[in-house]
Structure formats: C-alpha cells, structure tokens
Chain A
Amino acid sequence: MTQIPQNVVEPPAEEPGALARGVPGRPLSPLSIAWRNLRKHRLAMVALVVLIIMYLAMLCDGFVAPYPYNAWDRQQAYHPAWNLHVVDAEGRFHLRPFVYVSHYEFDPYRNRIWREDTSRAYPLKLLVRGQTGTMLFGLLKTGVHLYGVQAPARLYLLGADWQGRDILSRIIFGGRVSLTIGIVGTAIAMIIGMIVGGISGYVGGAGDTVLQRICELIMLIPGFYTLMILYNTLPASLTSMQVYFGVVVILAFISWASLARVIRGMVLSVKSSDFVMAARAGGSSPWRVVTRHVLPSTFSYAIVAASLQIPAYILGEAGLSVIGMGVQEPAPTWGNMLQQAKSVTEMTFHPWLLWPGVAIFLTVMAFNFLGDGLRDALDPRTVGLKKE
C-alpha cells in the first residue's frame, strides 16, 4: 500500500513576497491592482484626464468661465465664434491676443454684417475682474475670472447665442446639470439595484420571481417614452433645481432594473462560492454574508455597468431638454442649449450653437472609454496583476 512520506522535503521557499511581484512588504489590495491595470489602459487614462478637467471646470465654473451663464447683451446676439486677434488693423503682430469691440448691421436680406471698431484693442488678460458669478454649485461667489477682456469689449471664443450670451461660459455652467445628472442618477439606480438584485439573488424563491417580473416590466417599456410620460407627471411650477431632481429620479427609475438584473446574476454565482459557504460556516448572519461578502463581490461589475450607464443619463437629459422637457432657461444644460440649434436656419447661419453637442460627445465618449478600461482592469478573471 502506498504511503505519503511523513517527512517530505520542504519545497523551495513559498515566500508570498516573491509571488506578489509587488513592492516588497507592501500588500497589494485588489483596488490597487485594479488601479495599476487601469493605468496601462491608455485610452481610459486619456478619458479619465478629460473627465477630471471637465469636472474641475464644472466645479469652478464661475471662475473658469469668462462670464456668468446669464450675462446677456442683445447688441451681441449671434456673435460668431472666435474674435481673438493677434494681427491688428495696420498689420502689426502682437504677442498678446486682443479683441475689438464689435457691432452688427443688417444687410438688405437681414443678414447680420459684423463690423469691428479697430480704434482700440482690448488685450486678453489672465485673472481679470468682471461680472460676479458663482461657483461650486453656487456656494461661492467670484468676481475674478481665469481669463477675459475688459468691458465694453466681449470675448466670444465659441460665439454667442440669440441673447448674446457666451456659449463657452454656458457650456461650462451647463456641466452643473449635464455632468452631475449621470452620477447622481447612477448612484440612485445603483442603490436600488443593489437592494433589489441582492434580495432577489440571495433569497430567491417567490420573491425573486416577483422582483424579476417587475424589472422586466420596467425594461419592457421603451425608455424615452417612459421618460416623457413621467416628466409630464411633474407639476409645471417647479424650480429648475426641483426639475433637475425630478429628471434624475425619472432617469434612475427607468435604469435601475437592468442594474438589478446584472447584480442578481452576480449574486447568484457568488452565493454558491466557497468563501460565502465559509462565511456561513463561520457563523456570519445572512445580513453580514450579503453585505460583507456577496455584494462587495458584485461591486466591480456594478461599477463597470454604472460607468457605461452614465452616458445614457447625459443623453437622456439632453434628449428631454431638446424637446423642451427638462431644466428650463435661463439655467443652461447642454440639452436645452442645443434646443436653440434645432432649426435648419440656425444650423446654417449660426453653426456655433452646436458646440454643446461636442461637449456631450466628448463626455459620452470619455465615459465609454473609461468604462471599457475599468471593465478590463476589474475583470475578475485576472486574478493578479496584468502582464506588461
């Protein structure tokens, strides 16, 4: 009969430091591994930088934007984009860009003909004092702007809308709605999704069946129509802040179901894994097992699903605003700014009104790339560090 040797030779050093391939002595948490993997994903890193810049600009909107979002000037309506000059009327080159005061006249066909008063140049300045705006969601007031020109000249890097308001400034301020709606909405949807998906997957049985049928019912209705119907249930007298939250809740309402299904599937597979068995065998209560072992395991999937869902919120808000449902003027959102560019006439004669669309495009692409990168970085199949 065979015999397992009682005194086997110890195998060569089973030293975890050697296995970890990390900084010696420093444990590598799953999170720091994910971060390392993400850093190798170039496109995701570019997207992350773009998003960080956009969010910083949004937080410091009153400072970064040269004008407050409602600084109108009907004399400057539909001012074309980019009025910075480096060469003056006499043909001399100036290192510091400058603008001229401009005004328009109508030609016989009522087209605007713009004329610049070249008698005085207003140089572009950093940290200039101007009209008082707000930043940090209106918590702080600032009269100083990162850049700008002295009145009466006005800087229109991306042109002006029909009230002569600077489009660039309004895009930056519009981020308050457009950049936050996805995150707030996803957070709400994720909480609901985690609760419903967690119960559905862990408890199972009849409750699972009922919850899943409810999810299917919600997913069955085309999202945009649900949005419109629900928007119409909001009273008409709401402030833009209340409308914003109304829209967030509506968006979260139509998207929690798909998250709940993803999380339910994850919970079902994690539930039968050995470490969950081990936690139960250790005496952990069902609540502890779910909150400490099961749900955290679904986190990486949920984060990826959420980051890929944020664009849907941005687009949903824009879609609603374009058809006039959503946050109303004068508060800017990228959607209601695009509403002005709805007609062919506007697009032909004032194409710069489409700039908010570029902002939407950039944000949506950035979130998609970041989501892709996160999916690769958090992939549960990559147990350890990815190879270079």
Chain B
Amino acid sequence: MIDAAAPLLTVSDLRTWFPIRRGVFSRVHAYVRAVDGVDFTVSRGKTLGLVGESGSGKTTVGRTLLRLIPKTTGQVFFDGQDVMALGSGELRRLRRRMQIVFQDPFGSLNPRMTVGSIITEPMLVHGLYDRRERKRRAAELLERVGLAPEHVNRYPHEFSGGQRQRIGIARALSVQPDFIVCDEPVSALDVSIQGQILNLLSDIQDELGLSYLFIAHNLAVVEQFADDVAVMYLGRIVETASRQDIYAHPTHPYTEALLSAVPIPDPTLERRHVRLAGEVPSPVNPPAGCAFHPRCPLTRKLAQDADVKETTTIFSDSQPVRIMARCTAERPSLRPLADNPAHCHACLMRQ
C-alpha cells in the first residue's frame, strides 16, 4: 500500500507552453512559457501556498496538474498514480479526489443552473448516491459552508461574491475529495469576507483532513494559511520552504522583494523597501540564465564590488546596468540550503 508519509501530490519538471500561431496556415510562431519547469510536493493534510505576481503562471500550474489544460512536459503523481498518463475514464474517476475552487466567484458558477444542481452535478456524474441522498447532501453542504439549506433552489445571481465562493467550495466538497486546488479563492472578495472564507477553508481542512494547493498573490493570506510556501517567478519556482522559514529567512532576492512589499498595519513602523526595477518580462521570451536577473537588486550590488571579468552589462529600462555574468549564463536550479534541507532556493549568487 501507499506510504502514508509519502507526499499526496508530486509535481516534477512541469511545463505548460501555449503556442502562438500566426499566418494563414497557423504555424506555431512562438510559445508562451507560462509554466517552465516546476517541481513541488504537497503533503497529506497540509497546505502548500503558491505565491507569485500576476503572470507568473501559478494559475496555470493549478489547472495543468488537474489536466484542465494540457501539459507540455512533466509528471504529476497523485497518491501514486501518474495523473498525466491516465485515460479519460480513469481521469474522470480521479477527478472525484482532486477538486478546484476558482478565483472568480461570478464566472465559476453556471448562471443557468440552480445552486442545488450546481452542487449535485459532480456527485451525479460520479454516480454517487441516489437522487434523494444527493439533494440531502447538497442541503447539508450548504449548511456546512454557512448558507441556508433552502437556498438550493436559488440561482447564482441572487448571491453575493462571498456567498458564491461558499457555493463553489460546497461544490468542490460534494464528492469528498482528498485534495483541492484553491486558485486565489479570496482575491476577488472584500477583505472582511476574505477572513471568513479562509476560516471556512481551514475548518474544513481540519475536519476532513484535506490537502490544499493554495494559490495566491497575497503573502499575508498565505502566511496565515499555508504550511509550506513556494514562490513563483515567470513560470519557475525560485524558493520553497516552510512558512516560518520563508518569512523569517527569505533567501532568494525575489522573495525578499515580495515580502518587503507587504504593508505593515502600523504607521509607526518603517520598513526598508526593496524596489524592483522594470516590469515582469514576457514569458514568450524569458531572460536567459536566471529569469530574474534583469530586475535583481542582489546581482547589481554584487557586481559593484566584483571583478570586471565576472560582470556583464545589460539594459534595464534602456539604462545600462552591470550585473554578474553568471546570472545571465546559467539557469539556476532549486537547491536546498546547507543548514536546512527543507528550504530550497534558486539563486546562483547564494548557492
């Protein structure tokens, strides 16, 4: 049988490239490298927070590992099963165990279906329970997520964003999954509602022993919610660690910059902001070597004191900038820290 200590989900070298087609014959002209070689694991009953700016590919990771989007390369193992190798029938059976909660509470519910049929549909397609039992469960789930059971006959447009997100959670829970991809489940909600939804998700996790892949761009949300954190930049993971480690000792310069951007709710405190130069580069043509090098403050600082032979000149915002040559030449890989093997990062300068 499967080892209980083994991670529930293992993702290795996952790549999702979207082809850009041009011309009369729709020739593939280039690729958007939305996900470009990502490895991580999600432990049983734990939450992995996946953090990154918009456009870093974190949503694509979630959808690719559920096979909602075709992968380009890579492997995903869920509870010992090779997800990417499953046939369509086996995949549908596996979908009962892997669910998703979407970011947009308005787009993710079919406006033409009642709340009851939205929640019962996954049970119906998996042939779980009979008709009456499904209805009973739908009412029970609605109650569990904090809505009234009599709301089964209502339509999604009659609910607010937070209530719809609760419906989306009830739908994901209806088939008793082991793993849920929470794709920015609170970023479209009011701050006051965010707390409620997060509490609901964590209560459900404790109750049912679920594992989450929690995708977010808000580090504060992840800090409250996740057991482990992975930071993504331009389709790659730059740092993974336990929550305590990543907030206490960020190692990758990008993580440092992200953490310094989180506001502190205390006007008397001041923080040293790490300002990043420029914009996120295009994933069509990502920078060579370390994808972060055009914006990295660390490599610039190191280049000031380094031997000229070890540096090179790049253009950032049409300004010449000297950085370390190694950052443009070598693609970094995730390596554990010497003193903490659970803490991995992908900064060439600090490895």
Contact = CB atoms under 8 A, between A and B. Distances in A.
A16 B126 contact: no
Query: Is the interface on chain A under 10, 10 to 19, 20 to 34, or 35 or more residues?
Result: 35 or more
B192 interface: yes
Contact of B158 (A16, A283, A292): A16
Contacts of A277: 63, 68, 100, 102, 108
Nearest to B101: A278
Given A16-B163, A277-B68, A282 B192 contact: no
A22 B122 CA distance: 29
A207 to B, nearest CB: 14
A82 to B, nearest CB: 51
Given A1-B262, A20-B158, A28-B155, A275 B108 contact: yes
Contact of B163 (A9, A14, A29, A296): A14
Given A2-B262, A278-B168, A28 B158 contact: yes
B154 A279 contact: no
A306 B264 CA distance: 57
Interface stretch (B206-214, B216-224, B234-242, B313-321): B216-224
Interface in A77-109: none
A278 B95 CA distance: 11
Interface residues of B, number: 55
Contacts of B100: 277-278, 281
Contacts of B291: none
B235 to A, nearest CB: 20
Mostly helix, strand, loop or mixed at chain A's interface?
Answer: loop
Contact of B153 (A3, A10, A27, A285): A27
Contact of A281 (B68, B104, B247): B68
Contacts of B199: 6
Contacts of B1: none
A278 B171 contact: yes
Contacts of A8: 192, 195-196
Most buried by B among A282, A284, A293, A384: A282
A128 B195 CA distance: 77
A19 B160 contact: yes
Nearest to B196: A8
A11 interface: yes
Interface in A155-212: none
Given A27-B153, A282-B171, A4 B110 contact: no
Contacts of B107: 273-275
Interface of B: 63, 66, 68, 92-93, 95-96, 98-100, 102-104, 107-112, 114, 121-122, 125-126, 151, 153-155, 157-160, 162-163, 168, 171, 175, 190-196, 198-199, 220-221, 223-224, 247, 262-265
Given A278-B108, A283-B125, A297-B112, 7 more contacts: A2-B265, A4-B195, A4-B198, A11-B192, A28-B157, A273-B107, A274-B102
24 contacts: A3-B220, A3-B223, A8-B195, A8-B196, A14-B160, A20-B154, A22-B158, A29-B114, A30-B157, A273-B107, A274-B103, A274-B108, A275-B109, A275-B111, A277-B102, A278-B109, A278-B110, A280-B68, A282-B122, A283-B122, A283-B126, A288-B125, A292-B121, A293-B110
